[in-house]
């Protein structure tokens, strides 16, 4: 049995889908688009690459043009590559007393 551990002290980190999670492929694609856009907006600018403001317009255009799930994976990879590595360090969890 897997135990869910909430590492956040606030509800800000709760993941929320922004749209319908059931329906036609067009509805699900739109939900993915909006959710990724909202996810990106939730990341403070100080944790993103200094040039992200220049890349963001092209990234948003790529998100809106996604028609296959592989395209979403690519655009999510682009976002991940523009997040500063400090967010992936274990020190964030270690400081909360969460040890595996």
Check: CB of residue 54 under 8 Å from CB of residue 43: no
Check: CB of residue 17 under 8 Å from CB of residue 29: no
Residues 6 or more apart in contact with residue 35 via CB below 8 angstroms:
16, 17, 18, 19
Compute CA distances 79 → 26, 51, 57, 63, whole Å. 23, 12, 12, 11
- Predicted confidence (pLDDT) at residue 11 exceeds the cutoff of 90: no
Question: Domain residues of the chain, as ranges?
Answer: 24-95
pLDDT bucket at 92, cuts 50 / 70 / 90:
low
Q: What is the pLDDT of residues 29-85, one digit of tens each?
A: 999 999 999 989 988 888 899 999 999 999 999 999 999 889 999 999 999 999 887
pLDDT at 2: 43
């Amino acid at each position: 049995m897997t135990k869910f551990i909430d590492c956040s002290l606030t509800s800000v980190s709760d993941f929320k889908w922004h749209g319908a999670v059931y329906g036609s492929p067009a509805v699900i694609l739109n939900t993915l688009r909006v959710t990724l856009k909202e996810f990106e907006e939730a990341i403070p600018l100080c944790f993103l690459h200094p040039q992200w403001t220049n890349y963001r317009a092209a990234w948003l255009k790529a998100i809106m043009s996604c028609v296959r799930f592989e395209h979403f994976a690519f655009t999510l990879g682009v976002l991940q590559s523009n997040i500063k590595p400090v967010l992936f360090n274990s020190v964030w969890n270690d400081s909360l007393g969460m040890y595996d």
